Chain A
Amino acid sequence: MRAFYIRWVILLAIFGGIAGLGGLRYIREVKTISPKDVMAQSSVAGVRLMGMIEAGSFIKALAGEPFRFNLSEKGEKVAVVFSGEDTDSLLRELKTIVVVGRWDREAGVFHASEIALVPNYGFITSAYVFSLVPLGFFLFYMERRVALLYVMIKEEKAYQAETGQ
């Protein structure tokens, strides 16, 4: 039984490591902050800001001009200037989006270079946790039960396994 538990500790370490790497990627590439959090920061680049485009604030870009709108969440709002192209028509009023770019605290403006969909990462985490954790428990229970049954059977001398010659 000792080898059985060691095998499971190794398995947990491997899959825990993969979950950790997934978590690091989430922090590095996916995690967003709110308008309130970005306003509390000093000027910084590479920020992923999430919020809803405020009704009445959206100014569509003319030729050579950037898009301008306010992103709001929980009563706080940040003015955003987006100088890229809205090829996927993500920008419209009352739509929640993610903008990636640089926060200029002195000017009070967020200069966005990219726009992205809301990551909805909670759904991804739930799907993996609700499927893989029960799978792990189920597998652990079955393997342990079989190992114990072989011990009990051996004691009872009810079954003699074939050597596979």
Chain B
Amino acid sequence: MVATHFIGKLRKFEKWFGIVAGVLIAVGLYTGLVTSSPDYYQGEVVRIMYIHVPFAQTAMLAYSSLFLCSIWYLWKRESVVDNACHAAAGLSLFFTAGGLLTGSIWGKPTWNAWWVWDPRLTSFAIMFLTLVGYLMLRTFLDDKEKRATFSAILAIIGFIDLPIIHFSVEWWRSLHQPLSVSTRGVSIAPDMLIPFTLMSFGVGLLFTYMLMVRTQMLYLEHLLEAKQGRLLNEGQG
């Protein structure tokens, strides 16, 4: 009943997240690619910021969701929560790969290198590898309970990397630029701040929407598998 209630809530609210995310991303892309001005130092290339930073932020948001889901699973032991963890991990891997790829494309014209072993980039790559490891671990274990428990523990351990990613530009001398928007203030031009903010919130909400859809997908796949398995057993019996 908990699972049915949970999935029912996701179905009820998902479309609003999807609509708001779609509107924010559409307006963000329009302002970012059409109306905002080029940067004083970087020129047109600064437009990559409007896709790279939201992807990187969302990758970290997705990993934070995975971390919370994992704690929730270890506490409640609900299989639908494990579905949500699995969904968050897949999405986190997608956005992390997107962040790495767009960052690499941005690095070439600005740093003249596709990749450097900078603390921010390296710690972000570690998050990517942790997520690959997490998804591999899930495929290795057949027992549902063990799979959910061990992967939740791995996700919680891997969370150590997130503060390292966030503070890496302050703790070490880094080629990567420091935070443009922080508690110390905003170091970004107003006409760049509009698409940046719209895209950040838009991609973040899109992740939330995708998490809701993917959780349903995994839950329904398991439900169908279980139903078909029962029918098969009944047929054999």
User: Which residues of A in the span 107-165 have a Cβ within 8 Å of any Cβ on B?
Assistant: 116-121, 123-124, 126-128, 130-132, 134-135, 138-139, 142-143, 145-146, 149-150, 152-153, 156, 158-164
Q: Which residues of B contact A55 (CB under 8 A)?
A: none
A146 vs B221: C-alpha distance in the bound complex, in angstroms?
Answer: 9
- Flag if A22 contacts B33 (CB, 8 Å): yes
Which of A138, A158, A164 lies at the interface centre, i.e. has the most chain B CB atoms within 10 A of its CB?
A158
Contacts of A15 on B, CB cut-off 8 Å?
A: 26, 29
Q: Which of A22, A120, A162 is B4 in contact with, Cβ under 8 Å? A: A162
Among B30, B101, B217, the residue within 8 A (CB) of A131 is: B101
> B45 in the interface, Cβ–Cβ < 8 Å?
yes
Residue-wise, chain B 33-68 has the 8 Å CB interface mask toward A (1 for contact) of 110001010111101100110010000000000000
Question: B197-237 toward A: CB 8 Å interface, digit per residue (1/0)?
Answer: 00000000010001001101100110110111000000000
B16 → chain A closest CB, angstroms: 13
The answer to whether A131 and B51 touch across the interface, beta carbons within 8 angstroms, is: yes
Pick the residue among B33, B52, B98, B217 that contacts A25 (CB under 8 A).
B33
Min CB distance, A64 to chain B, in Å? 27
Contact of A153 among B43, B213, B224 (CB under 8 A): B224
Known A18-B33, A130-B102, A159-B223; judge A124-B43 contact (CB<8 A): no
Which residues in A have their C-beta under 8 angstroms from that of B169?
Answer: none
- Distance between Cα atoms of A58 and B206 in the complex (Å): 52
Q: Does A11 touch B at the CB level, under 8 Å?
A: yes
Q: Which of B33, B38, B223 has the most chain A CB within a 10 Å cutoff?
A: B33
B47 near A124: Cβ-Cβ < 8 Å = yes
Asked if B126 CB lies within 8 Å of chain A CBs, one says: no
Shortest Cβ distance from B7 into A: residue: A161
Cβ A128 vs Cβ B51 within 8 A: yes
Q: Is A61's CB within 8 Å of the partner chain B? A: no
Which of A25, A131, A149 is the one whose CB lies under 8 Å from B224?
A: A149
Q: Report if B76 contacts A (CB, 8 A).
A: no
| Interface residues of chain B: helix, strand, loop or mixed (majority) | helix
A44 sits at the interface (CB 8 A): no
How many chain A residues sit at the interface, stated as a range, is 35 or more
Q: Tell yes or no: A21 within 8 A of B by CB.
A: yes
Indicate if the CB atoms of A123 and B48 lie closer than 8 Å. Answer: yes
Q: Any chain B CB within 8 A of the CB of A59?
A: no
* Structural contact, B220 and A146, CB atoms closer than 8 A: yes
Complex interface: chain B residues within 8 A of A11 (CB)? 22
- CA gap between A64 and B186 in the complex, in Å: 40
- A163–B9 Cα distance when bound, in Å, is 9
With A88-B40, A127-B51 given, name 17 new contacts (CB 8 A): A14-B26, A18-B30, A25-B33, A117-B38, A117-B44, A123-B105, A126-B105, A127-B105, A127-B106, A130-B102, A130-B105, A131-B55, A134-B98, A145-B217, A158-B224, A159-B223, A164-B8
- The contact sample of 13 A-B pairs, CB cut-off 8 A, is A11-B22, A21-B30, A25-B33, A117-B43, A119-B44, A123-B105, A130-B101, A139-B210, A153-B220, A156-B224, A159-B4, A163-B8, A164-B9
> Which residues of chain B have a CB within 8 Å of any CB of chain A?
4-5, 7-9, 11-12, 22, 26, 29-30, 33-34, 38, 40, 42-45, 47-48, 51-52, 55, 94, 98, 101-102, 105-106, 108-109, 206, 210, 213-214, 216-217, 220-221, 223-224, 226-228
